[in-house]
Amino acid sequence: MKLFSFLRSRKADTEADAKADSPTLAKKLDKTGSRLRRGLFDRLLGRNALDEDLLEELESELLMADVGVETTNALLADLRERAKRDSSGTSLRDHLSACLVDRLTPVEQPLDIERRSPYVVLVVGVNGSGKTTTIGKLAKQLQRGGLSVMLAAGDTFRAAAVEQLQTWGERNDVPVISQGPGADSASVIFDAVSAARARGVDVLIADTAGRLQTQSNLMDELSKVLRVIAKLDDSAPHEVLLVLDGSTGQNALSQARQFHEAAKVSGLVVTKLDGTAKGGVLFALAHELALPVRFIGVGEGIDDLQAFEAKAFVDALLGEEQA
């Protein structure tokens, strides 16, 4: 039984929330969107036929937006096929938009919170990806959905990490389970799962140390965390969220591969998409790894952690966002 679905929650927002004074998604994605619109999409205006020169231009612009070689080749192959079999006179512009949406639609999978005691979300990623901020925003949104939330300060490697999480806990009036500096991360999260179960908390969100995918000792620690959680609940963690910094481009793809191997990642959060021209990496992640994209981060506000929707994302990038 589902307690909470972020996609349904977003679609149930009030009209006032949907039309708030904050910038639209298209404006927040303007750096990547501007590159695709000026360099790629607008070149297709009024054109219904592909030629090799145009394909080379499109390839260059997709690569510049960090879509990646493999994904770019696949997208262009899709575009060729669509254009070849089309008899309706559909523009190349519309065909390309459809190709982009098709690439992302399979990974449009919202985070569905199921009835557990508690539902355990383990958050992983490298330092600087926006992990702690994502946890705070996620906790607030879950509260708005009527769920009780607890946080676990499992990042004992970085001195300020516990303080940051406690600040978010105070801001949201959410309890935070922590131990002293340098404590064993698995022990902290074990205690947190026990406490959440005893208090009947709906969702436990556990932070972990930010680590590079090349740091084998910290990746081993992550495996230990997973084993310890399973001792209390063999179905936990119920979600392993990997937070990726969208501005790192193709490096995010490398991180995702390594973390998925170490921690069986079940969902992605791609942050900082409002400040980068490399947002095309989302297409590479979808094409090469096919991991569910739960959220995108498009700003500093609580509501700037948004449930991912493929068509809304592509429309915003390409300047077709609906009013």
Domains in the chain with CATH codes = 26-106 (1.20.120.140), 109-307 (3.40.50.300)
Query: Do 220 and 261 contact (CB within 8 A), yes or no?
Result: no
Average pLDDT over residues 268-281: 88
Average pLDDT over residues 11-22: 46
Place of tokens 């030629």: 51
Q: What is the pLDDT of residues 229-263, one digit of tens each?
A: 999 999 999 999 999 999 898 899 999 998 998 88
Q: What is the pLDDT of residues 124-140, one digit of tens each?
A: 999 889 999 999 999 99
Among 303, 309, 307, 305, residue whose Cα is nearest residue 322 = 309
Q: Which pLDDT score, from 0 to 100, does residue 20 have?
A: 43
> What SS3 class is residue 295?
strand
Distance CA 133, CA 127 (A): 12
- Name the β-bridge partners of 123: 241
